[in-house]
Amino acid sequence: MPTANATQNAEPPMPTRRRDRILMLGRRKAGKTVFLARLYEQAWRGGDGLHMRAAEGAMHELCMEIVEQLHHGQWPAATAGSLCSEVEVTWLGMQATMLMLDYPGEVFRQAFVEGGGGAQADELIDHLDHAAAVILLIDPGNVHAGSAREVVDDDYGMVQAVDYLRRSPGGTQVPLAVALTKCDEHVGLVRSAGGARGFIESKIPNLTQYGGRMRIFATAAVRTRGDALGRPVPNTQHEPAGLSDALKYCMKHVGAAMAQAARNNREAARRDELNRAAARDRRFAQQSFRRWVGFWVAMGIFGVVVIVVALFVAFREPQPTESIAPPVMAPPAEVVPVPEPEPVPEPEPVPEPEATEDPGPRIGKLKPSTAGGSEP
């Protein structure tokens, strides 16, 4: 990220960045917050043919709340943090984007006096790198009677900012508008110097020397009146003076170019989308081609393997196979005929003894005869 400390000894970085915004720069107590709020209120109502519309509702609401405080005779609180919002600006049929950037004045000092280094300071310098037009807010009262530290911010800090812009790529053609704020309070001081340009040339001569061509305007966002204690309080009974003139000057020089740049950006975005779509199609086609090549290579390898296996089976020598003897069956057992048993001869019938006269009953048992006969 470039810093203002590099503007004296080195050129800002290349390549040229797209310049697509109108930027406002101002030190602490330069009246940035009131200037932005009153300018937006005036342009929102369509004053002087100029129209502004915030891209975010939060910025629109913030500007209207600040204007309401001014109507009640109250000054807005000092800016505590950076606020950034794009605003669509329309004038004479031309349309451009203005960056409404409100930041603590210390950030300006850090960026362009102390050499940068902080995140907010680097962001502010980055906005300057993208600026198509720049509006510088300078408080004549601070330049005339401020402390040495306060004068350094407007004298040295502003010179550093415009020198960095002019030496940056494409910065020589960026229109510069200087708005002297609070001129209702310092009208005599400005008139005594011969007007707004005379005041800048006499009080901050290096600004015109390093800034080159620029337009200087005397502006008053609000008038002031004294309260019961003599302190200045805002008086919104009068319309803002000179605020829209500084913005119209920028629109005159960059409105048509920024509108053309916006169209070019849209066309470039469309071409980028077409290129991305074509790249996606090419990647898909390459992936499909690789998948099909892989498939057919695999199929070829498979076919070669099948052919090799088939040839191997067809032309290999037949190997002897071991014969398997059938199981030996035992011969059937010989059936030995069982001989039939010889017929047992029937015993010859014993002849019954002839009947004799019964000698009468015998007593006792007969005893065998020892002589081969029986004794009666």
For the segment 313-325, what is each residue's pLDDT rounded down to a tens digit? 887 766 565 555 5
CB 162 within 8 A of CB 112: no
Instruction: Choose among 78, 51, 54: nearest CA to 64.
Output: 54
Amino acid occupying residue 376: P
Q: Rounded to a whole number, what is the largest CA-CA distance in the chain? A: 214
- Residue 192 has a pLDDT of 94
- Residue 253 has a pLDDT of 84
Amino acid occupying residue 333: A
Give residue 15's pLDDT band: very low, low, confident or very high (50, 70, 90).
very low
The CA-based angle 227-142-64, given to 5 degrees, is 55
Say which DSSP state 55 is in.
S
> Would you call 186 exposed, middle or buried from its count of C-beta atoms within 10 A (0-12, 13-18, 19+)?
buried
Which residues, including other chains, have CB under 8 Å from residue 288's CB and lie 6 or more apart?
none
- Residue 40 has a pLDDT of 92
Find the range with the poorest average confidence among 20-29, 321-330, 354-363.
354-363
Q: What percent of the chain has pLDDT over 90?
A: 28
How far, rounded to the nearest angstrom, does the alpha carbon of residue 348 sit from its chain's CA centroid?
A: 139
- Residue 199 has a pLDDT of 95
Q: What's the alpha-carbon Rg for the chain, to the nearest Å? A: 62
- Residue 96 has a pLDDT of 82
Region 136-155: mean pLDDT is 90
Q: How far is residue 282's CA from residue 338's CA, in Å, rounded to a whole number?
A: 104
* Cα dihedral value 245, 247, 250, 255, nearest 10: -120
Considering the chain, what is the average pLDDT of its residues?
81
Find the range with the poorest average confidence among 11-15, 191-195, 273-277.
11-15
Region 316-343: mean pLDDT is 63
Judged against a pLDDT cut of 60, whether residue 154 lies above it is answered with yes
- Residue 332 has a pLDDT of 64
Judged against a pLDDT cut of 50, whether residue 269 lies above it is answered with yes
- Residue 105 has a pLDDT of 77
Question: Which is more confidently placed, 46 or 345?
Answer: 46
